Amino acid sequence: MVSHDFSRQLRGYGLTTAHIFYRRPDHPWLLQSYVWQEYDLCPHFPQLNRFLGFWREKLEGALHSVTVAHSRLIKPAEIKSVDGVFQLH
């Protein structure tokens, strides 16, 4: 049986990492960070947007900033043409 994460990668999902800075509810001047990671679709990021919506509705810490990195782990093979054959003695 194929894993759920692998089947998602075959459908175009890539590993998305979000570094979230938020303000502490008890000390709003203090920023704290949280790292979120999940397989998601670029460029709309439905999973990340769903998580951030949950954060805004249910959690007390106000969001300050979100930095997103995304990488497709399964990619087409890179093929480079060779112009000649070189022999090394």
- pLDDT, greater one: 15 or 83: 15
Share of the chain above pLDDT 70, in %: 83
pTM: 0.77
The per-residue b/e assignment along 1-35, b for 16 or more CB within 10 angstroms, e otherwise, is: eeeeeeeeeeeebbebebebebbeeeeeeeeeeee
